[in-house]
A and B are shown apart, each in its own frame.
Chain A
Amino acid sequence: MSNKKSNPTIGPVEFSVVDESMQVSIGRLQTNANTLLLGLGLLVLLATPAVFSGYFVGLLVVAFIYGIFAISVDLVWGYAGILSFGHAAFFGLGAYLMGVITTELSLPSIGLLGLVLAFLVPAVVGLVVAGVLFSRGISEEYFTIITLALAIVASQAALILSDVTGGSNGLTEIPPLGVEIPGVMTYIISHNQYYFVVLVALVAVFLIGKRIVQSPFGTTLVGINENETKISSLGYNPIKYKTIVFGLSTGIAGFAGALYAAYSGFISPPLLGFVLSTEVLVWVLVGGRGTLIGPVIGATALYLAENMFSGMFLNTWVLMLGLLLVVIVLVFPAGIIGVFSIIEKKINKYLKDT
């Protein structure tokens, strides 16, 4: 059984100083500062479309969708300690469900149904996969390898089942999201408005994620990650917890995939595959595993950087990304958020000393 893998913080309040009264006040300060920071960030993001070009806003839309995807991975990897190397299979499953449903069925408001199904179906698939594997007593290493195989199988299946998926050409002309009540109204969400839809979805998923990791259920997940034997000795069945969080996570990944399909209008087999599965792990790691907000920052920063610099550096971009990953793992194992908290501690220490 694995013991300690990481130390995810349960909430924004983390005690480390000895004097108790001091701890509480610093904790409150930090919580307020964090809330303030998040609020400010949100204001900036709300104003962004008015200031920046449509191209940049478009990049942000995809970055935020990947942010939701990264949160889904952080829930299983950062908190429960389950490493999935095939999460794109669920992201892609959501995207294809959305694509197939909205192009094949011409029902009013079909996109909204697509979003719901893109959560439910991958969630059920995830529950079944994790439930079967964990209850057979499979080790976490083998679970990781099987998820890797899952991504490969999924992208191959999308190639082969070309009648439904369009094969290597993918699916095109996926309609944008809209609300339609026949005879009353038809409202198609424009690309610029979609920015706000995705922003709301990202904030909602983040807040739900926060709520999950702060719940007794979430504390149990952290316990499983730290010491699964002990969790069992306290009367918890780790298999149930791991299965439920995996299903939740794959559901969120599918939901993100559906948001992507409705935005880009085009999806193809790589969305299900190994490369995206790996990329999302890099985003989570660079941003800071087990923090929820870190993976969003990681996804946004790296996706934007890729689009801005890959033109400038061409092939060397991938090389730079690889080097960045090595540096992060060696020097800043807690990621961007880890760097922030080091700075925060320094400031707190300075405030305490003066």
Chain B
Amino acid sequence: MTTVEPDPNTPQTQSSADSELLRTEELTRRFGSLVAVDDVNISIPRGEFHSIIGPNGAGKTTLFNMLAGTLPESDGRILFDGEEITGLSDHQRVQRGISRAYQTPQLFSGLSVLENLRLAVQSKNQSFNPIKKTDSAHEQEAIEMLEQIEFEAAPGQITENLSHGNKKKLEILMALSVDPDLLLLDEPTSGVSQADSDSLMEFISAASAERTVLLIEHNVDLVLEYSDRVTVLNRGAVISQGTPSYITQDETVQKAYMGSY
């Protein structure tokens, strides 16, 4: 059990229960004898831009996998919007309002850019009628999604041949297209040039103004610039949590980062 010194400078926004969107209680994931995520308690208020940082192997993606429902929890609970979602499958969680962009873009490579987006848009009004025609409103919504971002490929292009940067953008657009309350972003700027990273983060920040964002990111400068609060993981456990300025001055964080290099 690790106790974390609370950041004295953080206004305790999460104190009122109805503003809390996501809460984990003693969330744990074990792989055999390895504890990848160890007793993590986090509370994210609605509307917060919250980043999770930590050295490689700290358990960030494992935590995401449990939040998104792609990996079963070993122990602990996850509460979303006041309701327990522990044990729900990934698609059930999307219906509740959690969506996730993968670090490695997971696109439908044989489908066009627009078809990929339409699939994401359509998931809000799913139809099991196999002969229903495509809703032109969905098509339109997908086109509008695409217009929000600078995209150097035709909407009809098959995604297999897209550049890495475009694939990353499309991955994020798809996660946004399901209109989530909570957006989980796993290293959206990895492998993207510095200039593109900045514009991508600008876009994410603007597109998620009304949403709650949980971000995993290696680029500490971006994290400090955009985050309301930051959680630092090390060896599966939370070692620090607070505003960017608090985190940068926390000795535990510095030690953990120094120790890993």
Contact = CB atoms under 8 A, between A and B. Distances in A.
A226 B157 contact: no
A219 B133 contact: no
A66 to B, nearest CB: 23
A236 B91 CA distance: 6
Given A16-B157, A223-B108, 8 more contacts: A215-B133, A216-B132, A232-B90, A232-B91, A233-B68, A235-B91, A236-B91, A236-B123
A47 B133 CA distance: 33
Describe B's contact surface by its main secondary structure. loop
A216 B141 CA distance: 14
B60 to A, nearest CB: 17
Given A217-B130, A218-B130, A15 B158 contact: yes
Contacts of B134: 214-216, 219
A8 interface: yes
A245 B128 CA distance: 10
B169 to A, nearest CB: 16
B131 A212 contact: yes
A240 B130 CA distance: 12
Interface residues of B, number: 42
B223 interface: no
Most buried by B among A215, A223, A248: A223
A15 B94 contact: no
B122 interface: yes
Interface string A218-247: 111011001101111111111011001100
Interface in B62-98: 68, 70, 89-91, 94-95
Interface of A: 4, 6-8, 10, 14-16, 18-20, 23-24, 27, 208, 211-212, 214-220, 222-223, 226-227, 229-238, 240-241, 244-245, 248
29 contacts: A15-B157, A19-B154, A20-B154, A23-B156, A211-B131, A212-B130, A215-B127, A215-B134, A216-B122, A216-B127, A217-B128, A219-B122, A220-B119, A223-B108, A223-B111, A229-B70, A232-B90, A232-B94, A233-B91, A233-B99, A233-B100, A234-B120, A234-B123, A234-B174, A235-B95, A235-B123, A235-B178, A236-B126, A241-B128
Contact of B110 (A4, A215, A234): A4
A215 B109 contact: no
Contact of B154 (A8, A23, A211, A235): A23
A220 B131 CA distance: 13
Top 4 nearest A-B pairs (CB, nearest first) are A235-B94, A15-B156, A7-B110, A235-B123
A230 B130 contact: no
